[in-house]
Amino acid sequence: MSSSLAFRNIYNSQPDISSFTPGRVNLIGEHIDYNGGMVLPATLEKGIFISLKSRSDNRIRIYSDQFCRVEELNINDSATSNWSDYALGSIVFANKAGFLNGGADIAITTTLPLGAGLSSSSALIVGILKLAASLSKRPYDNIKIAILAKRVENEFIGIPCGIMDQMVISCSDLGKAIALDTKTLDFEILTLPNAYHMAILHSGEYRLNTDGNYRKRKEECDKIKEIIGHNDICNMSNNDFALLNNISTDLKQRARHCVTEHQRTLNAIKAIKKDNVFKLGLLMTESHISMRDDFKVSLPNIDSLVHDAIDLGAVGARLTGGGFGGCIVACVLKENLTTWRQKLLSRHPRAFSVI
């Protein structure tokens, strides 16, 4: 069902405005957007449909087809670790930005699975902010929307995420990759190899942004920054690493992932520009190994899914997203995709295809 039809059915009125906002998959460059690294995400054909009608009072009503109920809230409410927090926070910050002057009625329908690491939450926030900005007719640009969306997650939801998800969702072209420097927010749109498909499969392991694991990794990286005396973990020197020798093996592993993942991303960007798919695939696989062994955000079922994806013919595969569940992304020759997917899913009955 479209979000506009859902809106009419739920609220018995017409929305002011509707739109589609894509989800994203990160091809490489994981957990380094909050450490100043280069990242390489891409927008998806699947995403979130949102319809919105502004209100003159402070009442906020939110319907999602994922939960089949309406949450009734107030603009002065705080986050409560509920699914509706992301929409509530978006309306709160849309008011702070001057895009709205009061509450809203919202209907949401989605083709993205929740807890998959495909950034359904950031897509929802960016989508609502863009709708509110369009209604206000106030000037805005996509980078400012991304920065505001990050504030919703950091300040309202309480997730210490970086800027990657918001930037690719707000700024990239549909189905394209974005080579993003998270320090400067400079970016370049890249076209992916035409003969290959970036297949996304859900592992069957679900995760929540609020489960605390993401926060723990962010806090470990913040500790590294305190020890080395600067924020640029991704470009640490040998002298910086020496400062970690007597501190913690875990912190040294986290730092090693950031440095090597940053370099892998730079090399992946070069590989895409040279149409070197096999180099790209190798870098993706190396990224997964680093996430498994150094950043320790993978799970045995996901490691097995990645291994079998490559064993059955993918040129590279890796866990994508924050980790501790969710999806893998695999680079597969399009002409082999159907057979490859069928064989992989037969080995992993809990897994399912997303794209």
Position of tokens 């996430």? 291
207 vs 323: CA distance, rounded Å: 8
Residues 6 or more apart whose CB falls under 8 angstroms from that of 54 comprise 16, 100, 101, 102, 103, 104, 132, 135
Element (H, E) at 199: strand 196-202
Q: What are phi and psi of 348, to 5 degrees?
A: -130, 80
Which entry of 33, 85, 105, 165 is annotated as an active-site residue? 165
Residue 16 appears among annotated catalytic residues: no
- Locate tokens 């609502």: which residue? 128
* Cα–Cα distance measured from residue 265 to residue 278, given in angstroms and rounded to the nearest whole number: 14
Under DSSP, the state recorded for 155 is I
Q: Quick count: other Cβ atoms within 10 Å of Cβ 215?
A: 15
**How many Å apart are CA 257 and CA 268, to the nearest integer?**
16
3-state secondary structure of 326: coil
**Residue 57 burial (CB count, 10 A):** 9
Give the three-state DSSP class for 161: coil
Active-site residue numbers? 165
